[in-house]
Amino acid sequence: MTSSQPTQHSQQRSIYNISCLTLLAVGLSSCQPFDHKRQAEEIHIPHPSVHLQDKQNKLTQTEPLSPLSQPHLANTNNERKTSTAHKSKPSAQARTTLKFIDTKKNGIDLRFVRFDDRDHKLVVADQPAGPGTRWFTARQCAESQRGLAAINGGFFTPEGKPLGKIVSQGRSAGYINPSSLGTGFYYTSATETQLIRRQKWSNSLGAVEALQTGPFLIENGKKTSGLNTSNQRVRSFIIWNGQHHWAIGYSSICSLNDLAAALNSDRLVGFPIKYALNLDGGRSSDMWVSADVPHGKKEFRAFWNKDVRNFLVLKER
Find the length of the chain: 317
Using DSSP, state whether 44 is helix, strand or coil: coil
**φ, ψ dihedrals at 179, nearest 5°:** -85, 180
- What is the arithmetic mean of pLDDT over 261-265? 95
Render pLDDT for 15-25 as a digit per residue (tens, 0 to 9).
Answer: 445 444 443 34
Q: What is the mean pLDDT of the chain?
A: 82
Question: What pLDDT sits at residue 266?
Answer: 83
Residue 234 has pLDDT above 70, yes or no: yes
CA distance 148 to 247: 13
CA distance 223 to 95: 26
| Cα first-last separation, the chain | 111
188: region left, alpha or beta (phi > 0 left; psi from -120 to 50 alpha): beta
Residue 147 has pLDDT above 50, yes or no: yes
- What is the arithmetic mean of pLDDT over 248-263? 99
CA distance 52 to 64: 17
Question: What pLDDT sits at residue 171?
Answer: 96
Read off the pLDDT band of 85 (50, 70, 90): very low
Question: What pLDDT sits at residue 192?
Answer: 96
Question: What pLDDT sits at residue 72?
Answer: 46
- Which one-letter amino acid corresponds to residue 311? F
- Strands across the sheet with 245-254, in order? 99-105, 108-116, 245-254, 233-240, 275-278, 216-219, 222-223
Lowest mean pLDDT among 13-17, 90-94, 97-101: 13-17
Using DSSP, state whether 269 is helix, strand or coil: coil
Nearest to 297 by CA among 148, 183, 104, 157: 148
Q: Rg for the chain (alpha carbons), in Å? A: 40
pLDDT top residue among 220 and 86: 220
- What is the arithmetic mean of pLDDT over 227-247? 98
CA distance 115 to 122: 10
Question: What pLDDT sits at residue 267?
Answer: 85
Question: What pLDDT sits at residue 317?
Answer: 94
- What is the arithmetic mean of pLDDT over 256-279? 96
Residue 78 has pLDDT above 80, yes or no: no
- What is the arithmetic mean of pLDDT over 55-69? 45
Residue 222 has pLDDT above 50, yes or no: yes
Lowest mean pLDDT among 35-49, 118-132, 228-242, 297-311: 35-49
Lowest mean pLDDT among 11-15, 121-125, 279-283: 11-15
Residue 188 has pLDDT above 90, yes or no: yes
Read off the pLDDT band of 91 (50, 70, 90): low
pLDDT above 90 coverage of the chain, percent = 70
- What is the arithmetic mean of pLDDT over 96-106? 98
Residue 178 has pLDDT above 80, yes or no: yes
Q: Which residue pairs from 186-189 have beta carbons closer than 8 angstroms and sit at least 24 positions apart in sequence?
A: 186/122, 186/210, 186/211, 186/213, 186/238, 186/277, 186/312, 187/211, 188/117, 188/121, 188/122, 188/123
**pTM for the predicted model, two decimal places:** 0.72
Nearest to 205 by CA among 215, 216, 193: 193
CA distance 179 to 164: 9
Q: Which residue pairs from 190-194 have beta carbons closer than 8 angstroms and sit at least 24 positions apart in sequence?
A: 193/117, 193/121, 193/122, 193/246, 194/240
| C-alpha 206, offset from chain centre | 18
